[in-house]
Structure 1
Amino acid sequence: MHRYSRLLGLVLLAGLATACASRPVGDFGRAQPSALHDAMLPAVGDFMARQRREPVSNFNQTDQEGEMHDRTWRFLVANNAKDWLFNTEAEMQRVRITRAKDFTFFPDRYYNWLKKTHYQSSRVRYATVNRHILADLDTLPKTFLSICAVQEVDRQRRVALNELTDLAPTAANDVRARRIENQWHVDWFVRAVNYRYDSYSYALENLLVETPHEQSVSVDAFLRRLKVWADRANRGDFCSGASGQGGQGDVAIPSRFQTMVRDTEVIAPK
């Protein structure tokens, strides 16, 4: 009884710590090292996952897996638009203290955040969406490459498991559990890319009704580039051409615009 009371106390403490401290990030939104977020919270999360009878691997993390987790993190949260991507829920999900909750997210939160944020000009909201989509496009190629590298690590593990004989009795279970853990994380990333595309698209269509401006054409062009990456993620295509230029090329994705009056005024973001 004392053991479970202690574990319950650790879970409550972990939840409080997670709610009070977001995971630190560095350049381009990549995760930075943190004892709390990299050791303490995951230890509690592993215990919780085992209680839910989910697979938990005892393997150390490879460099490739660490790189993938660091690069995908910026897509799971939104440090440039706090609150619209449920940062606290994402951290609880990442460390496995709670089950996945991102299935329940609705794409209207980003538009609501834009609507409530004060700008000197209504055109700047379009510039804001442009910057956020461009940041995604700039980081997606290397993020895809990092996922491809992890898929290769999982393949090499399976080959080694089948060919080697002097292995620990838990090796097979750990290989299977780590493959599932990695796949769950990739699936989460895929959902996040789709959620971003849907959120940007929802925002653009509502801005077109609320404050129509010529700057919307540029947002639509960036969105069509992002759609290419979202489609690749949905296909699980992380390795072919992952070093491309943000999805540019001869891709037949129709624009949501037919005609629009030309407006050449440039408004700097505030």
Structure 2
Amino acid sequence: MSARGLLIGGVLLAAPLVASCVQQGDFGRPAPTAWNSLIDAAGTIAAHERGEAASLFPFTEDERALRDRAWRFLMPARERSLFEAALDNLTRARVLPVGWRLSDPAAYYEAITAGPYRSVISRYRRLSDDMVADGRLVPAFAETASRVVRADLTRLQSLPFITTLDDRDVRSAAMRVAENRCLIAWVRLETGARTASYRYALEHLLIAAPEEEAVAGERALAFLDSRRTLLDPLLPPDAEARCGLVPPEPGPAVLVRKG
């Protein structure tokens, strides 16, 4: 087995043993632990092996900040077991492919209503707090993403004028641009999925246990929806499909006349 395969395999085998090392820092960013650094390195290698966009160029400060701020939106909003959290973190780092984790709009609602709790109002407040927290973090991510997109444009425009680059340099530059854009597209996709989960939870709470707190929930959901639109102009509408995050939309049918 290659050294790359050994590294990826070691991370996967260690997941059950070090699940407790999955840590979250401030503002939804990953804590700077040795475990998080290891899986980030393994994720770049694994993505490259699968043929996905992955560059070995060092990250700029904005590119690192982009990945830190993406953490919250790429990890599930609900609590999970330590092992499941470790698998989610491996997916976030791209050690595991994005497609293995299916979207389940009901999962968040089931998580916040599971087990005994003193008052349903606390469930409404938890829901509102999560939506507001997401909404407050979207602008910082969008601002960082905008800077990264502008820097990538400068990078691509400069390539024809730099004569000392070899094919590997050009390919690594192109891969980093694609990697950055697909990360932004992934966050945009996951933010939409989180909003759908929150909406599902609010609607089902309202039917199961109507409370005045639902009004605050509606306001929090509207707040998140308004902030989420900041991600729309960053990339073309089909960016998620181009990055393989969603199936491409079928094109118009073409009739072939026989004879």
Q: Which TM-score band (shorter chain)?
A: 0.7 to 0.9
Secondary structure (helix, strand or coil) at the match of 1:37 reads helix
Q: Kindly state the Cα deviation for residue 24 of structure 1 after the two structures are TM-superposed.
A: 2.5
Q: Kindly state the Cα deviation for residue 8 of structure 1 after the two structures are TM-superposed.
A: 4.6
Q: Kindly state the Cα deviation for residue 203 of structure 1 after the two structures are TM-superposed.
A: 0.3
1:211 aligned residue = 209
Q: Judge conservation of contact 2:139–2:230 (CA < 8 Å) in 1.
A: no
1:28 aligned residue = 27
1:141 aligned residue = 139
Q: Kindly state the Cα deviation for residue 237 of structure 1 after the two structures are TM-superposed.
A: 6.7
Residue segments in structure 2 that go unaligned for 5+ positions in a row: 237-259
Instruction: Indicate how the Cα distance of structure 1 residues 34 and 107 shifts in structure 2: closer, same or farther if over 3 A, else same.
Output: same
1:89 aligns with 2:87: yes
1:11 aligns with 2:8: yes
Post-superposition, which runs of at least 4 consecutive aligned residues in structure 1 deviate over 6 A? Answer: none
TM-score (norm 2): 0.80
TM-score (norm 1): 0.77
2:153 aligned residue = 155
Instruction: Indicate how the Cα distance of structure 1 residues 94 and 124 shifts in structure 2: closer, same or farther if over 3 A, else same.
Output: closer
Match of 2:125 among 118, 124, 127: 127
Q: Judge conservation of contact 2:30–2:36 (CA < 8 Å) in 1.
A: no
2:190 aligned residue = 192
Residue segments in structure 1 that go unaligned for 5+ positions in a row: 239-270
Q: Kindly state the Cα deviation for residue 232 of structure 1 after the two structures are TM-superposed.
A: 3.7
Q: Kindly state the Cα deviation for residue 81 of structure 1 after the two structures are TM-superposed.
A: 3.3
Q: Judge conservation of contact 2:146–2:234 (CA < 8 Å) in 1.
A: no
Structure richer in helix, relative to its length: 2
1:201 aligned residue = 199
Instruction: Indicate how the Cα distance of structure 1 residues 164 and 113 shifts in structure 2: closer, same or farther if over 3 A, else same.
Output: same
Task: Find the aligned partners of 2:125 and 2:172 in 1 and give their Cα distance.
Answer: 47
Q: Kindly state the Cα deviation for residue 31 of structure 1 after the two structures are TM-superposed.
A: 1.6
Taking every aligned residue pair, what percent have the same amino acid on both sides? 27
CA RMSD of aligned residues (A): 2.4
Deviations 1:17-71 (A, max 9, x none): 3443354222122122223322x33343333333322332121100000001111
Secondary structure (helix, strand or coil) at the match of 1:170 reads helix
Secondary structure (helix, strand or coil) at the match of 1:216 reads helix
2:58 aligned residue = 60
Q: Judge conservation of contact 2:135–2:228 (CA < 8 Å) in 1.
A: no
Task: Find the aligned partners of 1:162 and 1:75 in 2 and give their Cα distance.
Answer: 36
Task: Find the aligned partners of 1:230 and 1:187 in 2 and give their Cα distance.
Answer: 12
Deviations 1:92-124 (A, max 9, x none): 223322211376211100100111143211111
1:98 aligned residue = 96
Secondary structure (helix, strand or coil) at the match of 1:101 reads helix
Residue type of the alignment partner of 1:36:
W
Q: Judge conservation of contact 1:64–1:149 (CA < 8 Å) in 2.
A: yes
Task: Find the aligned partners of 2:213 and 2:143 in 1 and give their Cα distance.
Answer: 32
Residue type of the alignment partner of 2:178:
I
Instruction: Indicate how the Cα distance of structure 1 residues 209 and 137 shifts in structure 2: closer, same or farther if over 3 A, else same.
Output: same
1:265 aligned residue = none
